[in-house]
Structure 1
């Protein structure tokens, strides 16, 4: 869907580039995660891909065409959900949606979408009276208004309770199943792990890693197996090497004879990988 080659970008007042010669592609029908600490270049890259910023160096191809040469028709193809929901607070939710609908040729079934997101009952309430979670969900409705081929989601579940976050994630998965492509940034690593086919880590304007969450966990994890078992009312722990586990007599004996409580492989979490690759902890922008 996107092919990005040697992309560099510098803001006019800055002395050095914010984006420093990055290369990546986004395959049709995949959910692509774009991760990095604050100020690493995530938002700048996204703004370039959605044509909010130009004057970049390098080459970007969208759906087989040079991005520079595509006119406003491009916006018929994409849906964008910014982290900070932007609506007209003195209008109702439905009035907001009907206003934005007029900007597009293609339209989705708004009633069905709002019902799925639990907003239809409050459609005639002013957006200024909406909770943060409701505004975030309305933002997603707006991103889906024009039946986009490609979705850009910035922190889509940040501020949602677990049940509404699950509804949104399920809708993203359905969108993908129906052929949609997604570019997503988030600080919630469990969401990235659950949704993304591949993730890229950007640090100081450069991409440090691109791979599937599973492959990254194997690469950065340890080849160990931790077994916790109970003995004499105490929990005891033994760690085995995964490579010789099938011939390890102590492991086989333990499994046969003890009351096993938990078994965990030494694979790491995406959160740990984020910290290792970027050198910084997770901070919310």
Structure 2
């Protein structure tokens, strides 16, 4: 697979800031990949997304997307990408359908029937309601389908499931995976560990404007630590709890003894989560 995005040694300083917000970031994203930026608020995720979407051009380093340096990007670039903001803006006095029809008119190519998209996210019966009456969750779903209107090759999704109930979050995640199956490349910006693990082929841990680690969620969770196993057993009438690493379980005399005597009452592994790994690498939580 070819690289859709290639970022090399990028720095950025906002005019009002004394120091760089982004420090020496490098990564690449392959065609058809879901790549996640995972980190807490203020980590630099949104700034990196603004660079990738062409909003910020005063960076140092190199950012190539579709083989074009982003400083030289043209308006044609926006025909190829879809952007779903965490706090989407709409024309409040327009209905949802009127909003989508208007945004569809801005593209030169063929667009998807907005009613079909609204139906997919459960908004078909609210299509003729003014967006000003929509809840945050409804606006989030509307913002998501707006990003799909023109069938873009590259999607930028910023906290796409924020504020959604589990059922609607599931709908959006399934639609994201559908886009991947269609060969779309997706950049997912989130602090939601579960979304990142469920959707992303690779994630970049961001903190303080730098990338601390890049890898698949599975590799990051497994790297550098040994899974712990917690087990309990009966000692007369008392229940005892002990913890042992998975690699040493077969050699643990205590475990072997209670296992052979049939005294074991429970056993489960305590695998580290992505957030555990993130905290170990950065000393900070994801929220």
TM-score normalised by L of structure 1: 0.91
Residue 101 of structure 1, aligned match among 98, 101, 104: 104
- 1:71 is matched with which residue? 74
- Residues 226, 239 of structure 1: 8 Å contact kept: yes
In 2, the alpha carbon distance for the partners of 1:192 and 1:171 equals 15
- 1:54 is matched with which residue? 57
The unaligned stretches of length 5 or more in structure 2 are none
Residue 113 of structure 1, aligned match among 117, 128, 136: 117
Pairwise CA distance, 1:272: 2.0
- 1:7 is matched with which residue? 10
Q: Which string of whole-angstrom CA distances, capped at 9 and with x for unpartnered residues, describes residues 142-172 of structure 1? A: 1111111111111111100011111111111
In 1, the alpha carbon distance for the partners of 2:239 and 2:101 equals 60
Tell me whether 64-73 or 167-176 shows the greater mean CA deviation.
Answer: 64-73
- Residues 38, 192 of structure 2: 8 Å contact kept: no
Pairwise CA distance, 1:28: 1.3
In 2, the alpha carbon distance for the partners of 1:127 and 1:119 equals 11
- Residues 197, 213 of structure 1: 8 Å contact kept: yes
- Residues 80, 143 of structure 1: 8 Å contact kept: yes
Q: Which string of whole-angstrom CA distances, capped at 9 and with x for unpartnered residues, describes residues 108-130 of structure 1? A: 23222211100011100111111
- 2:281 is matched with which residue? 277
- 2:202 is matched with which residue? 198
- Residues 224, 239 of structure 1: 8 Å contact kept: yes
**1:33 maps onto 2:48 in alignment:** no
In 1, the alpha carbon distance for the partners of 2:114 and 2:256 equals 58
TM-score normalised by L of structure 2: 0.90
Tell me whether 249-258 or 152-161 shows the greater mean CA deviation.
Answer: 249-258
In 2, the alpha carbon distance for the partners of 1:35 and 1:208 equals 10
- Residues 227, 272 of structure 2: 8 Å contact kept: no
The unaligned stretches of length 5 or more in structure 1 are none
Residue 43 of structure 1, aligned match among 28, 32, 46: 46
In 1, the alpha carbon distance for the partners of 2:236 and 2:197 equals 38
In 1, the alpha carbon distance for the partners of 2:237 and 2:138 equals 48
Change in Cα spacing, 1:144 to 1:231, as seen in structure 2 (3 Å) is: farther
In 2, the alpha carbon distance for the partners of 1:17 and 1:33 equals 22
**1:186 maps onto 2:190 in alignment:** yes
In 1, the alpha carbon distance for the partners of 2:126 and 2:235 equals 56
Pairwise CA distance, 1:201: 1.5
Change in Cα spacing, 1:279 to 1:245, as seen in structure 2 (3 Å) is: closer
Q: Secondary structure at the match of 1:144?
A: coil
Tell me whether 133-142 or 195-204 shows the greater mean CA deviation.
Answer: 195-204
In 2, the alpha carbon distance for the partners of 1:180 and 1:115 equals 21
Q: Which string of whole-angstrom CA distances, capped at 9 and with x for unpartnered residues, describes residues 14-35 of structure 1? A: 2221111111111111111112
Pairwise CA distance, 1:200: 0.8
Tell me whether 141-150 or 255-264 shows the greater mean CA deviation.
Answer: 255-264
- Residues 226, 263 of structure 1: 8 Å contact kept: yes
In 1, the alpha carbon distance for the partners of 2:237 and 2:195 equals 37
In 2, the alpha carbon distance for the partners of 1:34 and 1:8 equals 17
Residue 88 of structure 1, aligned match among 88, 91, 97: 91
Pairwise CA distance, 1:211: 1.1
**1:267 maps onto 2:255 in alignment:** no
Pairwise CA distance, 1:269: 1.1
**1:128 maps onto 2:132 in alignment:** yes
Superposed CA RMSD in Å reads 2.1
